[in-house]
Amino acid sequence: MRLYVGRAKKAIRRGTALLWSRTYWVSYSLADLKSRHGAIAGSLVLLLLIGVSVYWAPTVQGALEPYFAANERLSGLRLLLLTLGGALIGATAIAFSLVMFAMQVNVERMPHGLFRKLSSDRRLLGAFTCTFLLAIAVTVLSIIPGKSWPWLVIATMGAGWGALLILLLFLYAYRRAISLINPLQQLVILVDNARREMRNWDRRAHRVAPLLESRAETISKQTPLLDVEQYLPRLAFFQLNPHWTDGARQAILHAVSFARRFAEQGDHEVSAAALSVIVQINAAYVEVKRKTFFSIDPFFYNPLATDVFIDETLEHLRQNVRVGLSRGDEQLIEQTFKTLAQLVLVYLKIDYADKYASKTHAQLAAGYLSKAVRSVVPHDMPDVIMEGLRLMGKSAQSFLVHANVDDITTITDNIALVALAGAYKEDYRPITLTGVEQLAKLTFDLILVNSQDIRFAVGELKKSVATVAKLFLDVPETPLPSIHSSCLAPYYSGMGTQTLQAWLANLVNALVKAKENDEQAQTIIGNIEKWADRLFQAEKELLLLAIEKKSYFTLDMIHWIANITKILLAISNAPACDDRTRERLRKHALWLVSVLSWIPDDQETVVFVENFQVTETLFKAAMDAYQRNCIEVSDKICDLLLSWAFKAGKYQSRWAIFERAMYGLATLVVFMDDIEKCDKLKATISKRLEEEGAPTQEIRDRAARDIRRRSATLYRETHGVSHIENAMSQVDHEKLRSLLEDIANLLFPETRIEA
């Protein structure tokens, strides 16, 4: 019984929730219909009621005639209409005087042109005219000639409908006045007027195009145009009518005035709406001008490449940033940044005369954005600068979609320049983090670009990242957490899901599943190969600098090198990777992991670096390469591990580097199950022991003793974080013990296991 009651309660709650959900949906739908079609629906209802009253007019006439049979009653009706009409005329005059006065008082501080336009609003003046005429009409009804058809019904119904319509017009005028006073509505009127004017010019250009063909031919001879024959008359028309943008330019001036005035008052909602008007007007301008834009040619001067309208727009926004800085208004500055970023998107949609032309005006807007962000750096506004960096990153991503990938280099250079602010001021450390995050995102997005050569762009991007990292390493290190690791984490950290390594790992998982003939996968693999080309150069310098500074960022660099090596080898085995790209990827991976061989061999450095498990990292890299069937790469990494064993193992340390390296090498050889490599390993160890700088006899003795002790305990189950120890427990113990004994004998044959 309790089970059924529980189910019933659950069903009731579900039904109630469903009922409320449908109620909310109905109310939302009705509100949406009212906002979009409320005026039309109200007008139709009003017309319908008037039509019904006309239909019932004979019936009303028949009902009223007996009542007004007496002349004194008819005279009373005439007096009533006369009085009512006069009162309505007076009320109309008073009401509209008050409405117009209130509206003008509220908009008197607007720009003169906009004030004049709003104070002479046609709809408001039209409502006043209609109300006045209706009041006069009601008054005129007092002179009806008699009670015969249809005068009586006209007088009564006309007076009733006149009074009702006057009341509705009063309400409409009130709402219209309130709407005109509202600055947001004023901005809507502003942008609508600008759009309407530009559409008119668009129609004019289209209509007179046949008359301008001769002038178009002259322009074609003077300017090298491509594929724009049908737009040359339009260009000629715009040249003959340079004032065609005056209305739009005036609208932008008004919008800028709105933004600054209301931002000063603290009403940033209005200032944001005003700046969005600038974007909308520019979008309409680009749409109307069509294919009559021209880009800057590096070899030929083209006077048509300069667009006064766009230049003035960007200059207004530059001044807006200066105004915000002078007031300390962070929100106005951020809103201006967003406007510039939106203009970048608008200008990227410009269709130039030459399909190979660069996006000149979008680059110009991006340059204004970059300079604006840089101008804020001295003013102690880290949050504003961080938002500017994010917008710069989004703008660069837009260039990757709509333009040539090489166009992002200027933006990335500026991102790196701003990100360096954190190296000189402690409060600006989050700026460096944001800048590196944007560079990491752009690196990944650049890898995903389709059908473009990214070699130059990705090379410049790597230089920008390296510049930020190198200069930031001059900042004094802070332990737990490391300031270097924290601020450079988006690019170099292996922890977290919002890092370059995490994105690349997910991408590799998708690429290895792609089919052999997948063109998109082939393109992405090619882009990764271009990114990895000569990657080792900057990483080598960065690793050595981190070691020199004794920075905990060394850990990130070591693991970054190992993880990227693993990623490159994994991609080389993807079905969509061709033989040439596979060979180059493995070469890049080998060069990258070989960076670890450049670690200085002094004792202090060796002890510091081994804190971050270089031996374990090399072992994992060699094992991973072998498991991915990259035998040649695995052998090279084994050589690196052996070199590290002798370079670092000659010093006494708590890490027992020499012994652990021998464990790793022996485990790798046993895992590969190659007798030739086993003999080669013993021969190489014997040869290296005879070279100058080999470990001392004391270290050899200790290492041999530890190796024999460990070989005797291989059967014991171990649980630890050491990858070498875990691998030792998984290979053939007999073969591993035999090889370890041989290595121990090479080090010091007389050593015996102590009891």
Bigger pLDDT: 223 or 714?
A: 714
Provide the b/e sequence for 75-105 (b: ≥16 CB within 10 Å): eebeeebbebbeebbeebeebbeebbeebee
Q: Examine the domain organization and report whether 621 and 588 are in the same domain.
A: no
The DSSP code for 56 is T
Which of 179-193, 381-395, 409-423, 532-546 is the least confident region? Answer: 179-193
The torsion defined by the Cα of 685, 689, 693 and 695, in degrees rounded to 10, comes to 90
Q: Helix H segments across 473-612?
A: 483-487, 489-492, 500-511, 519-532, 535-548, 553-572, 579-593, 603-610
Q: Examine the domain organization and report whether 454 and 594 are in the same domain.
A: yes
Residue 363 in this model has a pLDDT that exceeds 50: yes
Q: Is residue 85 assigned to a domain?
A: yes
Which of 523-537, 559-573, 718-732 is the least confident region? Answer: 718-732
Q: How many domains are contained in the chain?
A: 4
CA 64 to chain centre: 73
Q: Examine the domain organization and report whether 540 and 635 are in the same domain.
A: no
Residue where a domain terminates, one of 133, 150, 181: 181
pLDDT at 460: 94
**Rounded Cα gap, residues 52 and 67, in angstroms:** 23
**Rounded Cα gap, residues 196 and 280, in angstroms:** 12
Neighbours of 275 (CB within 10 A): 26
Give strand pairing partners of 409: none
Q: Examine the domain organization and report whether 590 and 461 are in the same domain.
A: yes
**DSSP labels for 702-738?**
HHHHHHHHHHTTTTS----S-HHHHHHTTS-HHHHHH
Domain of 13 in residue numbering reads as 1-29
Q: Is residue 692 assigned to a domain?
A: yes
Neighbours of 724 (CB within 10 A): 22
pLDDT at 528: 95
Q: What is the mean pLDDT of residues 533-537?
A: 92
pLDDT at 281: 96
Which of 435-439, 542-546, 687-691 is the least confident region? Answer: 687-691
Q: Which residue has the tokens 């007389």?
A: 750
Which of 65-79, 132-146, 300-314, 542-556 is the least confident region? Answer: 65-79
Reported as a pLDDT band with limits 50, 70 and 90, residue 108 is low
Both tokens assigned to 72: 């004194």
Q: Examine the domain organization and report whether 432 and 540 are in the same domain.
A: yes
Q: Examine the domain organization and report whether 88 and 12 are in the same domain.
A: no
Reported as a pLDDT band with limits 50, 70 and 90, residue 570 is very high
Q: Is residue 618 assigned to a domain?
A: yes
* Rounded percentage of the chain residues whose pLDDT exceeds 90: 42
CA 360 to chain centre: 21
Residue where a domain terminates, one of 162, 181, 200: 181
**Rounded Cα gap, residues 37 and 658, in angstroms:** 83
Q: Is residue 409 assigned to a domain?
A: no
Q: Examine the domain organization and report whether 448 and 587 are in the same domain.
A: yes
SS3 (DSSP) at 182: coil
Q: Examine the domain organization and report whether 17 and 142 are in the same domain.
A: no
Q: Is residue 288 assigned to a domain?
A: no
pLDDT at 69: 63
Q: Is residue 215 assigned to a domain?
A: no
User: Mean pLDDT for the chain?
Assistant: 85
pLDDT at 751: 43
Q: Examine the domain organization and report whether 650 and 755 are in the same domain.
A: yes
Sign of CA dihedral 277, 282, 285, 287: negative
Q: Examine the domain organization and report whether 455 and 518 are in the same domain.
A: yes
Q: Examine the domain organization and report whether 563 and 707 are in the same domain.
A: no
Bigger pLDDT: 59 or 11?
A: 11
Which of 204-213, 253-262, 683-692 is the least confident region? Answer: 204-213
**What does the pLDDT look like over 131-163, one tens digit per residue?**
888 888 888 888 877 767 777 778 888 888 888
Q: Is residue 365 assigned to a domain?
A: no
**What does the pLDDT look like over 277-335, one tens digit per residue?**
999 999 999 999 888 888 877 666 677 778 899 999 999 999 999 999 999 999 999 99
Q: Is residue 722 assigned to a domain?
A: yes
Q: Examine the domain organization and report whether 453 and 558 are in the same domain.
A: yes
Residue where a domain terminates, one of 598, 627, 643: 598
Reported as a pLDDT band with limits 50, 70 and 90, residue 177 is confident
Sign of CA dihedral 576, 408, 358, 279: positive
Contact (CB, 8 A) for 411 and 457: no
pLDDT at 90: 85
Sign of CA dihedral 189, 191, 193, 199: negative
The angle subtended at Cα 650 by Cα 647 and Cα 654, nearest 5°, is: 110
Give strand pairing partners of 293: 352
pLDDT at 225: 47
